[in-house]
Structure 1
């Protein structure tokens, strides 16, 4: 997969996630489903242990952590590329 194909995949994933969730920001509940974590608590543990692969952030006057759809889409596209690279 070329860099262009990876960028196109990330863009398509981003568009799909935006349509599905209706926001450029994902909550932990949405993230746990998108990235297939067993539970929100498992996701929180990954963040606390600093092993969660996507940048998360807090927002003023809001509880919890959030992630940008764009960052999640980019991560998923990179993982697809890595899987293909490992198959060679």
Structure 2
């Protein structure tokens, strides 16, 4: 993660959740400097960490990503205002519940593979 991304994504813990407007401004400023005022579907898929544009479109059809899109005459594809994307990101962060910390370390792929291997007898 670059220092710019750290500055944008890390909320200020002294704000106690009241930093929605400044956070949105920082995120919007970062996205504007990187992508400009309008994003297309491939860029939005990248920003929202979808693996493919088709996955983004399917999620939008289901109503899981309620970001306004605009169809531009004589242009293919859908376009999104960067300000709307920033507002969506801040809203999602504010709505997401914080997960309690577990005392057990998370299972790793190697750890799980070792258990499965021990259960399966060799022939």
Q: Which protein has the larger Cα radius of gyration, Structure 1 or Structure 2?
A: 2
Residue among 2, 25, 31 paired with 1:11: 25
TM-score by length of 1: 0.84
User: Which residue number corresponds to residue 63 of structure 1?
Assistant: 76
1:10 offset after TM fit, Å?
0.6
Q: Provide the aligned C-alpha RMSD in A.
A: 1.6
Structure 1: state its 5+ residue gaps: none
Structure 2: state its 5+ residue gaps: 1-16, 100-123
> What count of residue pairs does the alignment treat as equivalent?
83
User: Which residue number corresponds to residue 35 of structure 1?
Assistant: 48
| Runs of 4+ with deviation above 4 angstroms | none
- Structure with greater contact order relative to length (CA < 8 Å, sep ≥ 6): 1
After superposition, the C-alpha distances for 1:1-43 in whole angstroms (9 at most, x for unaligned) are 02xx10110111010001111x211000000000011101111
The structure with the greater share of residues assigned to helix is 1
TM-score by length of 2: 0.62
